[in-house]
Chains A and B, each alone.
Chain A
Amino acid sequence: MPDRSQSTNPLREGIVSRRVAEPCAIVIFGATGDLTHRKLVPALYNLAHEGQLPSGFAVVGFARRPKSHDEFRAELREAVVKFSRFQPINPAVWDAFAQGIFYHPSEFGDADGYTRLAKFLQQLDRERGTAGNRLFYLSTAPTEFATIAGQLGASRQTGNARIIVEKPFGRSLDTAHELNATLASVFDEPQIYRIDHYLGKETVQNILALRFANEIFEPLWNAKYVDHVQITVAESLGVEGRGGYYDQSGALRDVVQNHMMQLLALTAMEPPISLEAEVIRDEKVKVVRAIRPILPEQVAQFSVRGQYARGSMAGKPVDGYLNEKHVAPTSRTETFVALKLFIDNWRWAGVPFYLRHGKRLPKGVAEIAIQFKAPPSVLFAADCASPLMPNALVLRIQPDEGIAIRMNAKVPGTALNIQPVKMDFRYGGSFGTRSPEAYERLLHDAIAGDATLFIRSDETERSWQIMDALLEGWKTAPPPFAYESGTWGPPEADAFIERDGRQWRRP
């Protein structure tokens, strides 16, 4: 979001930093949970450390367990010591930050708890200068969203407020629509911030910079030159104690519907006319709307599911999915999914986008690979032993963030031997600085009222519409193919892409 403060604040001229957010109180629902301790509060402390929080600022933890303010502060201090990117923590900064931390014990459905909360926040307005500005962060199970939003509405706390909702945004089009309707009955859409932490990652934001700040890529970024796109989000971990949740969710709902659809939208979108939130979100929605629907009877043609079986990871034997705790022994939940999507617009007509995500794959990696068409081989075919490899541009999201280009070069010597070579740009090698955590960026944006990196209701619903058809088709399809843990998915996934004369990349 452009910083307009400079025009009215001459002291800001030439200072490269975002303006300090306006005074605000953040209420975290589910404040005793893992997300609060590992991510949210360390991110807020990091912002305080860098002077990006306003003087009028408070954090109020809202949770069921009885606890004093001081007990809550002590817990959070431990979390910050462990998870802040600034080590060791600065005692004076912590002390000043901790003075604004409070705890409010209440059941999520207890109306009286919200009345007390409203009074307490008014008290903080007077004592800490939070100026009636509220940010409600729902870090709870999705089943609590409607209750909390309803209670906030009933206790009239939604005026000068925004609400942040963590994924999953529903588990189907109907439930997403229902959630959106519930939130919309209490908050206006501009007040609702649906958070997908993937959008807070520097390298994801860099997709826009790479595409639109470099003249050399954009002219090639279309069906004329691109053969296909592969988006891979691979995890080496299994469900790791989340079997109960995961078995009800699966790979498609857990990762593809949100993270991967965001990567796809940023990769395929048209150039926005500005960097304003609504403009960028409009362009992303246009991409999702242009994705060709997959009919339930077409799922075998456009998707492959897998489920990890026994195998080995890093030299150690590991159990299969069906042996995980809290997983039904006859579960048909997919832990791997490969999709082929088409974006039916002028730019991408006929270009397949292959999406691949799975657990217990050989390594944790996320990347977007733009595979260009093969060059005409008339010139070198007679002399070269093997056909020329097409060019590829790979955006590595994690780990080892960077950009690689594969091109062909002549091997030195008298013979005409052409081989692919890789030009590699690594963020770690060029920018040694530690990037802010994704949640730092997103929380700062939410406090400042910048919704660019948050997801709009129409985007989630359209995305669910595509997923729903797949889920519907899978109900009557054969069960997921088993794949050995530590491999790149079931052999059927290889056959799936090989049918099109292509191959999966080995990230």
Chain B
Amino acid sequence: MATTLETFTAGVETAVDVVAVERQLHELWRLAAESESGQVTRACLFNLVAYAETEEARDHATNVISELTSRDPCRAIVLLAKPDQPVAELSASITAHCHLAGGGKQVCCEQISIEAAGASVEHLASTVLPLLESDLPTVVWWPGNFLLRPQIFTRLGAVADRVLFDTSQWEKPAEHLGALSKTIAAMPGCNFADLSWTRLGLWRKLAAEMFDEPHCREELTRLNSVEIVHGCGPGASLRALLYGSWVASQLRWSPADVKTRVRLQARDDRDATSVGILSVTLRSDDATFLIQKKHGERTATAKISMPDICGLPRTRAFWPADDTSLLSQELDHTQRHVVYERALALAAQLAGNQ
């Protein structure tokens, strides 16, 4: 099918020769600039390389990118790798994600989809590298376990400024925490972000905020336990472990203390919020700091109980975090997650694989 400006900006995928991708895109944007309406603007702030190994994961990535580009315009390169296929094949297609901006104008971003099968998977990185927009950061979004594909990951990771992954989607993630921690430490030039950690952002913020209040700050050094009640949904226990490790590592609890002070408790609740944590209780001898989320309610409440304190709960909105909003949050954050790395190292110890 011939690619026209209309089909391109309407989000229809059109197959193109892998070597002709750049030329084809250039031609389409030229047509857009010269169109009578002049209503299409191309925007691009970074390269986003998404990696998938199933059609379902590829389609999910495309849907997320379609939403994401309304807030974070980028050149998206979506890779579908099928290394187990017997025949080597490499194909490409292009499309655009367009969003209405002010004045009836459309802001559009291009997506290049590349599918590699069999031995061609080994050449994926060499296909991607020339397609990266120059002078813009490159973000690799690899939801699965990249430790299992060292050959491709090493080449893509070498050009990435950031790698976004999601241990919640890994099989038996606790078994890989040690290797993950070492891989991250071995790549100091690249910022890694685990969406499991991103999901904990509001929970960490709520805990931190309780100790912003001056009368509570002194209690921080007196905290002697953290109890995390978590659901049984995918990744919930891992996130609880990361959260407990975060508290312990930030408060500099000794390794001996950590095992007795960090308590994780599973409750049979699949928790639709995708965070998986149901409550967190931090305790000192005199005070209790409780964060709670009611199932099905889009709010979280933080309550402090200590002598001479009014103790009114603080209620704030707490919205479900889908992949689009998680990615968007991470794209706002450009620094290395040193706090995560510290918590991860401790979590790996606690999980017994480091």
Contacts and interface: CB of A to CB of B under 8 A. Distances in A.
A90 B101 contact: no
A128 B312 contact: yes
Contacts of B340: 14
A51 B206 contact: yes
Contacts of B309: 129
A171 B250 CA distance: 54
Interface string A207-238: 00000000000000000000000000000000
A315 interface: no
A312 B113 CA distance: 52
Interface of B: 41, 43, 45, 70-73, 99, 101-103, 107, 201-202, 204-209, 211-214, 217, 220, 247, 250-252, 297-299, 301-302, 304, 309-317, 332-333, 335, 337-340
Interface stretch (A4-12, A198-206, A278-286, A478-486): A4-12
A9 B43 contact: no
Given A17-B205, A23-B213, A11 B317 contact: no
A9 B211 contact: yes
Interface residues of A, number: 44
Interface string A369-407: 000000000000000000000000000000110000000
A15 B204 contact: yes
Contacts, number: 121
Nearest to A99: B312
A54 B314 contact: yes
Contact of B101 (A5, A48, A54, A428): A428
A273 interface: no
A13 B314 contact: no
Contacts of A399: 102
A346 interface: no
Contacts of A15: 201, 204-205, 208
A142 B281 CA distance: 49
A90 B299 contact: yes
Contacts of A128: 310, 312
Given A14-B337, A429-B43, A9 B316 contact: no
Nearest to B42: A429
Contact of A93 (B70, B220, B316): B316
A429 B107 contact: yes
22 contacts: A5-B212, A10-B250, A10-B251, A11-B211, A14-B335, A14-B339, A15-B201, A16-B332, A20-B213, A22-B213, A49-B316, A55-B302, A55-B310, A55-B314, A56-B312, A93-B299, A93-B315, A96-B314, A426-B107, A429-B107, A431-B71, A432-B72
Nearest to B107: A429
A428 B105 CA distance: 11
A247 to B, nearest CB: 34
Contact of A19 (B41, B70, B209): B209
A96 B297 CA distance: 14
A13 B312 contact: no
A430 B332 CA distance: 12
Contacts of A56: 310, 312
A9 B212 contact: yes
Contact of B205 (A51, A424, A428): A51
A14 B338 contact: yes
Contacts of B297: 92
Contact of B317 (A10, A50, A129, A431): A50
Nearest to B69: A432
Which of B41, B208, B332 has the most chain A CB atoms closer than 10 A to its own CB? B208
A55 B71 contact: no
Contacts of A127: 310
Contacts of B332: 16
Given A14-B335, A22-B213, 12 more contacts: A9-B208, A11-B211, A11-B220, A14-B340, A16-B333, A20-B212, A55-B310, A55-B313, A128-B310, A129-B311, A426-B101, A430-B73
A433 interface: yes
Contacts of A246: none
B213 A54 contact: yes
Interface in A1-50: 5, 8-17, 19-20, 22-23, 48-50
A12 B201 CA distance: 11
A86 interface: yes
A375 B351 CA distance: 67
Interface string A469-499: 0000000000000000000000000000000
Contact of A96 (B73, B204, B313): B313
Contacts of B317: 49-51, 86, 90, 93
Contacts of A431: 71
Contacts of B70: 432
Interface string A312-342: 0000000000000000000000000000000
